[in-house]
Amino acid sequence: MLDLTKYQGIIFDMDGTLIDSMGSHLKAWELTCYAFDYPFDYDYMYGLGGVPTLATVDILNEKFGLSHDADAVAEQKHQFWLGLDSKPEIITETVDVLNYYHGKMPIGVGTGADRAHAVDHLTHTGLIDKIKTLVTACDVRHGKPHPETFLTVAKQIGIQPQNCVVFEDTQIGYQAATAAGMDCILVKDGKIQLKT
């Protein structure tokens, strides 16, 4: 098992880190981009993983010189996602870490998803009762790459930021973690990436 004993708290991102839901979200974004005339680039949109939906719309509007209503685009993306009827599955490597350290140190989740979506996914996968706190896009003013999400988790689990480690699957999440003064372990395609 990964030795995290030099830390006092663990923070996980959710989509693409604990739960394999990025594929369905990217498909929903693809449908949304076509519906609103945003060019769709899979790698670019994956790179925005962890950014709250409304902020993603703002980024797309700016990038492509459009002015779509963020709430309308976000609602359509949500409807497309619901229509996919995707059932989230756990990412085994990271959930194994969560299970191993559950009860040994406080664990929180910091996600760019909205609260209802996050609670639904964490409940469906049986993870909700294993975390001490959940911070979502609904709970912060600034989403990732701003450090507020992870700093809020650290505060709620009662651990100083420098004593926390974050698991993330995107560079934006990595930036948020490092800006919060935390070490960050990247997860790529469901595999924990350890620096050698």
pLDDT digits (tens, 9 = 90+) for 104-130: 999 999 998 889 889 988 999 999 999
Say how far apart CA 137 and CA 114 lie, in whole Å.
5
| Residues with active-site annotation | 13
Q: What angle do CA 148, 151, 153 make, to 5 degrees?
A: 110
Say how far apart CA 111 and CA 90 lie, in whole Å.
15
Say how far apart CA 111 and CA 77 lie, in whole Å.
17
Helix spans in the chain (H): 22-35, 42-47, 53-64, 70-84, 92-101, 115-124, 148-157, 171-179
Question: Where do we find the tokens 């209503």?
Answer: 69
pLDDT, tens only, 153-183? 999 999 999 999 999 998 999 999 999 999 9
pLDDT of residue 98 exceeding 70, the answer is yes
Q: What angle do CA 192, 188, 126 make, to 5 degrees?
A: 70
Does domain 22-84 match CATH 1.10.150? yes
CATH class of 9-21+88-193: alpha beta
Task: Show me where the domains of the chain are located.
Answer: 9-21+88-193, 22-84
Say how far apart CA 12 and CA 153 lie, in whole Å.
10
